[in-house]
Chain A
Amino acid sequence: MIQKKICLLGASAVGKTSLIRQYVEGIFSKKYLTSIGVKIDKKQVKTDKQIVQLMIWDIEGIDRYCGFQAKYLRGASAFIIVTDQTRSQSLVEGFDILKMVQEVADIPGFLAINKSDLPASWHWSETELEELKQSFNQFFDTSAKTGDGVENMFSHIAKVQTE
């Protein structure tokens, strides 16, 4: 079994903690409770080649109250930037975070467009979105509420780790 560190980053209230809770415990809570600091969860994923233990780092939302901390990425094998498709600003901030990560780490980056159970109310055109998605290794539409796309995203990331 190999162990891989995956960091979840993004603006506050995009659903990072909810995505992990859905993936690890299969639970979703509608109430928004802000995270402080870091929480690490583990989950084993069986890929075609071997078992991967994902060490998923849930990192406090990056906003005016909490800056980007490069030290959290030390030893990470991949990162996921989570955005909320009901809030345009979350993608702008996600993209800023991506640039900061790329300055300190050369690892695969994935984009999670979360809250796919809700109507997309951000005002990005398809062309703009396509351009932004190009900066990531892969993107996933996810819903921490229904679980749609969540398992698929983490399984894909685990699989990439064994290739």
Chain B
Amino acid sequence: MIYKSGNWLDELLSETVGKKVCVIEQNSAYLEDFLIDAEHLWQTNKDGRIESGIWTEQLSTQLIRLEASAVQADHQSYLVVNKLEDKYNQKQQTLQIAREMLLSTDKISEQHDYLHARLEELLSEPNGSLAAQQPVAQALSQTDLGVAILDAELRLLNCNPALRALFDDSQVELDLPPDKLILELFRAQYPECERIFSTASSWTGEIYWLNPPQQGKWLKLSIHPIKSETQRVQNWLFSVSDVTQIKYLLRRNEKLTHFDALTDLPNRQYFWQNLENKIKQNRPFYLLYIDIKQFKRITWSFGRR
């Protein structure tokens, strides 16, 4: 038996038009493929449900997003095809930001790694300790990353224009040169700082530069020792990039995930996350539950307008 609402199904599965019973033809390759799994479920005659995952169909005038479920319950087999609107848009919005963020992070990590490998190669050469040598200077000028090369005692040997540009702000007058400022921020924000230098370890993390009246900058900092053949530290390499935008996207995405787009109020996910956190604390707490009577009627009548 076929039950349907909306005209999109008539166009997608025209064989259902005016019929209560029909055989689904090959109009939707994705649905056809899903029916193989659905038939397996229905043949078992055991109660259960499987989902198709989201797919897109191009109709004559519109692009529609669908998701199907095959259900077996009480010896009855059901196929439910849902047209997604809000759910798809919300998922896409969240994933769009998440993936843009992933791309930016990937790109920055790739730059840092490449730079470390390249400079390590150059600086490890016999006369490499001279951080001013031509290939090193060239490598520094070609990168978008802020780079500082310091000696074993953390004295600056060379830094590139990109590093200066990161801290170049007409409204803020710097008391310290960029390399010293980075070291100061690192020392103030990460207690493990001295251990990194004393054990000649690599470190990657984020430091925050508060530069009032501006909004502040989040900087990804990589600290990398360059050692001689005898494993003695010859140089320290600092590479820095601005990740403020990524932080902003992350915050925006958290907001999209945890707050209702219409009312801007915390949503169900936010509630569950908070509840889980409370439970983890293993301390008694109160939960006040307020139910608005007949609210469903409003949702049914007016939807999410």
Q: Which residues of A contact B (CB under 8 A)?
A: 5, 12-13, 32-34, 36-40, 55, 61, 63-65, 69, 71, 74-75, 87-89, 123
Contact = CB atoms under 8 A, between A and B. Distances in A.
A37 B55 contact: yes
B121 interface: no
Interface of B is mostly: helix
B106 A39 contact: no
14 contacts: A34-B95, A36-B88, A36-B92, A37-B55, A37-B67, A38-B30, A38-B53, A38-B54, A40-B30, A55-B29, A63-B102, A74-B36, A87-B110, A89-B106
Contacts of B254: none
Most-contacted residue by chain B among A33, A38, A74 (CB, 10 A): A38
Given A33-B92, A65-B99, 9 more contacts: A12-B99, A12-B103, A34-B95, A34-B96, A36-B65, A38-B55, A39-B56, A71-B37, A87-B103
Contacts of A39: 55-56, 58
A71 B55 CA distance: 14
Interface in B33-74: 33, 36-37, 53-56, 58, 65, 67
Contact of A123 (B29, B99, B102, B114): B114
Contacts of A88: 110
B103 A36 contact: no
Contacts of B29: 5, 40, 55
A55 B33 CA distance: 12
B100 interface: yes
B134 to A, nearest CB: 21
A36 B107 CA distance: 23
B91 interface: yes
A5 B29 CA distance: 10
A36 B33 contact: no
Nearest to B100: A32
B130 interface: no
A36 B110 contact: no
Contacts of A13: 99, 103
Contacts of B53: 37-38, 69
A125 B110 CA distance: 15
Nearest to A58: B56
Interface in B62-118: 65, 67, 88, 91-92, 95-96, 98-100, 102-103, 106-107, 110, 114
A92 B71 CA distance: 39
A64 B88 contact: no
Contacts of A64: 102
A75 B65 contact: no
A6 to B, nearest CB: 12
Contacts of A37: 53-56, 65, 67
The 6 closest A-B pairs by CB, nearest first: A37-B54, A39-B56, A38-B55, A12-B99, A37-B55, A34-B96
Most-contacted residue by chain B among A34, A71, A89 (CB, 10 A): A34
Contacts of B96: 33-34
